[in-house]
């Protein structure tokens, strides 16, 4: 009689005995290295989030068949038997456990565990602009904890793959180094200096992203209205050009109106002054005529008074008539 024995293997869906711990900061990027043996050179490589090997390959965020997927990129170096996974534009949510896996045709897949910690950047990124031909100052963080940390300033889209700018000490000068920050002065800005910079004292933990814009002096002077006036002065406007440009018409009409108003004001003052003189002359002549008439009237009244006295005396004293007539004749 046959007998059957069923053996159950209960495997823990956990991995692994050792964990590779990696730290980085938000807005930065990180590269995770995963090694494999010589028998897995041609096998599928994959990278997933979590600690469960049973579902890692089905839930992989990136594989060697699809090497680019959003912020994740996988590259395989078969000679050194290491594949790397790069995660760009990190956020605090990217912190957690990950698994590097290699598929096996028979047996179980091979895994290695990674623990990623994304820290908040001590200083946020900022934008700054400078005038072409003039200097600009960049402020960078300094950890101050390790004396062997080298301050750096590099240019590029990613902080782990950018060009070191501090080698050019003539154009880039390091100043004001303290325990918390340092400054870098860029002298005589050029249009080619615009772009993304990273600076700090630790390329993995303490750095900042700077977006530099370079403004040309011609951009600020191109909108000044003086240029149109200068053009009108060098070339006299025709009737068509002045009608097309209202500023040019006002440039010539306003001075003409102002000059006409000055002329009319001057003429009006002359007329008022002339009338004032005529009134003064008429007043003087009137006073003279009135005085002469008054004197003549006084003399006539005196004569009439004398006549009345003579008549009165003749009536009262007939003998004195002849004598009074002589006096009257002498007066006349």
> Is residue 326 predicted with pLDDT exceeding 70?
no
> Is residue 304 predicted with pLDDT exceeding 70?
no
> Which residues, in sequence order, are bridge partners of residue 246?
none
pLDDT given for residue 106 in this prediction: 76
Q: Which two tokens stand for residue 331?
A: 């007066």
Model confidence at 189, in pLDDT bands (50, 70, 90)?
A: very high
Instruction: Check residue 152 and give left, alpha or beta (phi > 0: left; psi -120 to 50: alpha).
Output: beta
Q: What is the C-alpha end-to-end distance of the chain, expressed in Å?
A: 198
Q: Looking at the chain, how many residues does it have?
A: 332
What is the CB neighbour count within 10 angstroms for residue 220?
10
pLDDT given for residue 131 in this prediction: 93
What is the CB neighbour count within 10 angstroms for residue 197?
24
Alpha carbon 89 to its chain centroid, in Å, reads: 28
What is the share, in percent, of the chain residues with pLDDT greater than 90?
A: 35
Contact 145, 205 (CB under 8 A): no
Q: pLDDT (tens digit, 9 = 90+) per residue, 229-280?
A: 333 333 443 444 444 444 545 566 777 888 888 888 888 888 887 777 766 5
> Is residue 120 predicted with pLDDT exceeding 60?
yes
Model confidence at 320, in pLDDT bands (50, 70, 90)?
A: very low
Of the candidates 198, 153, 194, the one whose C-alpha atom is nearest the C-alpha of residue 177 is: 153
> Is residue 286 predicted with pLDDT exceeding 60?
no
pLDDT given for residue 299 in this prediction: 54
Contact 130, 106 (CB under 8 A): no
269-282 burial, b at 16+ Cβ within 10 Å, e below that, comes to: eeeeeeeeeeeeee
Contact 214, 128 (CB under 8 A): no
Mean pLDDT across the chain: 75
Q: pLDDT (tens digit, 9 = 90+) per residue, 130-170?
A: 999 999 999 888 765 544 567 889 999 887 788 999 888 88
Of the candidates 16, 19, 42, 43, the one whose C-alpha atom is nearest the C-alpha of residue 32 is: 19
Does residue 43 sit in helix, strand or coil? Answer: coil
DSSP 247: H
DSSP labels, 106-162: SSPPEEEEEEEEEEPPSS--EEEEEETTS-EEEEEE---S-TTPPPEEEESSSTTS-
Of the candidates 212, 253, 228, the one whose C-alpha atom is nearest the C-alpha of residue 128 is: 212
Cα–Cα distance, 98 to 30 (Å, whole number): 13
Least confident range of 37-41, 268-272, 297-301, 309-313: 309-313
> Is residue 228 predicted with pLDDT exceeding 70?
no
**pTM reported for the whole predicted model:** 0.43
pLDDT given for residue 291 in this prediction: 53
Higher pLDDT, 320 or 191: 191
Handedness of CA 53, 58, 60, 65 (dihedral sign): positive
Contact 33, 76 (CB under 8 A): no
pLDDT given for residue 289 in this prediction: 47
Q: pLDDT (tens digit, 9 = 90+) per residue, 95-108?
A: 999 999 999 877 78
Least confident range of 40-44, 55-59, 207-211, 316-320: 316-320
pLDDT given for residue 287 in this prediction: 52
């Amino acid at each position: 009689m046959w007998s059957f024995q069923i053996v159950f293997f209960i495997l823990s869906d956990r991995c692994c005995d050792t964990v590779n711990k990696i730290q980085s900061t938000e807005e930065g990027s990180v590269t995770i290295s995963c090694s494999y043996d010589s028998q897995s050179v041609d096998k599928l490589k994959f990278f997933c989030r979590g600690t469960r090997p049973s579902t890692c390959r089905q839930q992989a965020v990136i594989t060697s068949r699809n090497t680019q997927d959003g912020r994740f990129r996988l590259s395989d170096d078969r000679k050194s038997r290491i594949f790397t996974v790069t995660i760009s534009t990190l956020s605090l949510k990217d912190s957690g456990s990950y698994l590097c896996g290699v598929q096996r045709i028979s047996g179980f897949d091979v895994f290695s565990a990674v623990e990623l910690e994304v820290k908040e950047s001590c200083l946020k990124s900022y934008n700054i602009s400078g005038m072409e031909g003039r200097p600009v100052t960049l402020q960078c963080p300094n950890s101050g904890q390790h004396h062997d940390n080298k301050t750096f300033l590099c240019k590029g889209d990613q902080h782990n793959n950018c060009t070191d700018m501090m080698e050019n000490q003539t154009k880039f000068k390091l100043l004001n180094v303290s325990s918390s920050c340092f400054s870098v002065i860029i002298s005589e800005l050029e249009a080619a200096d615009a772009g993304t910079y990273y600076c700090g004292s630790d390329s993995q933990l303490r750095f900042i992203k700077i977006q530099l814009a370079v403004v040309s002096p011609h951009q600020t002077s191109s909108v000044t209205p003086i240029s149109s006036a200068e053009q009108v002065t060098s070339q006299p406007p025709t009737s068509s050009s002045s009608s097309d440009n209202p500023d040019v018409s006002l440039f010539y009409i306003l001075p003409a109106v102002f000059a006409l108003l000055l002329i009319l004001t001057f003429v009006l003052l002359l007329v008022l002054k002339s009338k004032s003189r005529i009134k003064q002359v008429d007043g003087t002549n009137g006073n003279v005529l009135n005085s002469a008439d008054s004197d003549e009237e006084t003399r006539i009244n005196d004569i009439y008074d004398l006549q009345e006295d003579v008549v009165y005396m003749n009536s009262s004293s007939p003998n004195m008539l002849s004598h009074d007539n002589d006096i009257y004749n002498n007066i006349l």
